[in-house]
Structure 1
């Protein structure tokens, strides 16, 4: 029995007050992505989070700029949440999959980095934020048909180092800490194009995107498994990614384990092994948020059956009539992941994206596992 499984069994027999040994500083970070709409005042459960990363700001002409029409209103709404949770931190996340196209240019020279960092400070001060999250997808790699260079590896480190130095100066002036964090890829390819052992010294957290490991593939698979399954042809897992970072010299408390609040689906999947690791075609609506899965596919009349992959600690759904297979995250799999965070003394958990769990089922599972 794995250590975290043994702890899980023990926790079930303990009173609620005893079901944690984690310090209060353990992070629970939500990426909030409203796009072009204004958030409702009570839409985000402030007391269940330590940090919010608002997605996304863009990079234009080497500067951090607003990404959407209602960013100003949304920053005001998020800052107002500090009335409920005074320790809550609000950061802006810059880039993302679509808006990482100009990072390589922005990081290229000392002068281009200065322009980017000046604009970062201006942006944080303009909206009274607590810091900046760099979501460059990815240094030295094509990503979404982005410009990239071999020297991105060193320039990524330089950008984060100089940003940290500037934020430290501004923080002393403001008498408060300004946070820096990064969203990072889960593949070995990512950290081979970065200097994570150096980078870790310049950020408060490394938000490890341990999801999207499957999706768009010609066979089914877990897109955020905790452990690797021997039958998985891609040999992926969150555990493997975490160990890659640890072996690269990253300290455990800098790693924040990422989890998805959405699932992915395949069609034309045969019933062998209830569809797990079988050939199939990604469905048109391949991205399914947890709220829609819970309200439709998990209902008794849906035709779907839930299965549990005990090797990967992952749930999945299969409908033999429609031959549809769905991989997703639920409260049980997140309970295992919170224990994993505790076992390895990681910095906490983050998730993409808040609106995928409208009833806070997944967020409550994270809180139950990580908070006293």
Structure 2
């Protein structure tokens, strides 16, 4: 009798656990739009338990280095652990895709050499996909900053980058197709691209757009000689023709990229500018020459919201034309530019209206309280 009781209890427990598991999966509603968050693994171990997997469709793991014409895991021990932990998030959201992002601002200096010849491109493509194969990941993301342009000081770049950029993706796609034949699974190929017209001019986006699944336009880090926004949806009044997310989307679509492959970028961090005057609360004023990360920089959005917005001498303003917020402190003339819940709403509306693929953001842990991710989850089904 006791043995039968325990056997029945065990069966009941298994059924309950199965029902709980099915219920957990059912709570993660499949999204119509992509919500892609970059997670920085370059710092070391990622606390995957703090990632709200149910609100994401993709995680781009930043970054994989480029060395000797190969995709290279510089921090093998922590990278491999991070891949395992991120893959475990699929227990919460089985549709979640984990994709290693190769390059980034600091690790793009060797791209031009890595894809210069047919043999080097094949070597690079194979090594990229070997990482996907070994760690059971879901595709490859390329963040080359930038083909045909310097990017970070010391980067190698050459005119041939324009065609080699395209051929690099052709090689990676061919390697991913081989992997698909092995596993029966579809793998994604994506790219983070600069939002400038010069990026479009230095690439063949019409051809690239046919190869890639998604093109993530980095509609942030805009800048200029004057104090202005860094992640604005539209230009400010008086700055028509200036940098904006809308202009970037227009440029890429004009170059032949389909709207349904475009991801719009959101910044989970602020940038600071130092104005020479308090006129117009710093907006569009001349910036202090050579000023870098000036005192008062807000940092990530959680810190911005909790410590800076309408605090410490900073007052919040809304630029109606740009559809973007900013802070200004008249005492130190520091201007802080960032995304907030309202600008996220505007970007979501823009994504829906223009039938874009969805949204992505840098970087997940810049907003640990999830103020912005919660808003994205609310406004993008």
CA distance in 1: counterparts of 2:207 and 2:89, whole angstroms: 34
Choose 284-293 or 350-359, whichever is displaced more: 284-293
Q: 1:233 Cα shift?
A: 7.8
2:64 equivalent in structure 1: 57
Alignment of structure 1 residues 130-145 onto 2, 5 Å: 130-144=138-152, 145=154
CA distance in 1: counterparts of 2:226 and 2:190, whole angstroms: 34
Instruction: Figure out how many residues of one structure are paired with residues of the other and give that number.
Output: 347
1:31 equivalent in structure 2: 38
- Structure 1: tracts of 5 or more residues without a match: 1-22
CA distance in 1: counterparts of 2:137 and 2:332, whole angstroms: 48
The answer to whether 1:356 aligns with 2:366 is yes
Deviations 1:60-106 (A, max 9, x none): 11111113351111111100000000000000000011111111111
Shift of the 67–331 alpha-carbon distance from structure 1 to 2, 3 Å rule, reads farther
Deviations 1:263-298 (A, max 9, x none): 111235422111111123345355721122112112
Choose 278-287 or 122-131, whichever is displaced more: 278-287
Alignment of structure 1 residues 10-21 onto 2, 5 Å: none
SS in 2 for 1:341: helix
1:229 to 232, 236, 239: 236
TM-score normalised by structure 2 residue count? 0.87
Tell me: higher relative CO, structure 1 or 2? Use CA pairs within 8 A at least 6 residues apart: 1
- The answer to whether the Cα contact below 8 Å between 1:52 and 1:89 also exists between their aligned partners in 2 is yes
Q: 1:305 Cα shift?
A: 1.1
Choose 313-322 or 341-350, whichever is displaced more: 313-322
1:123 equivalent in structure 2: 131
CA distance in 2: counterparts of 1:190 and 1:218, whole angstroms: 19
CA distance in 2: counterparts of 1:326 and 1:74, whole angstroms: 33
SS in 2 for 1:42: helix
- Structure 2: tracts of 5 or more residues without a match: 1-29
Q: Which has the higher helix share?
A: 2
2:20 equivalent in structure 1: none
2:305 to 283, 294, 306: 294
- The answer to whether the Cα contact below 8 Å between 2:33 and 2:357 also exists between their aligned partners in 1 is yes
What root-mean-square deviation, in Å, do the aligned CA atoms of Structure 1 and Structure 2 show?
A: 1.7
Q: 1:347 Cα shift?
A: 0.6
CA distance in 2: counterparts of 1:54 and 1:41, whole angstroms: 12
SS in 1 for 2:49: coil
2:49 equivalent in structure 1: 42
Alignment of structure 1 residues 207-356 onto 2, 5 Å: 207-214=216-223, 217-232=224-239, 235-281=242-288, 282-285=291-294, 288-298=299-309, 300-356=310-366
CA distance in 2: counterparts of 1:320 and 1:244, whole angstroms: 36
Choose 327-336 or 113-122, whichever is displaced more: 113-122
2:84 equivalent in structure 1: 76
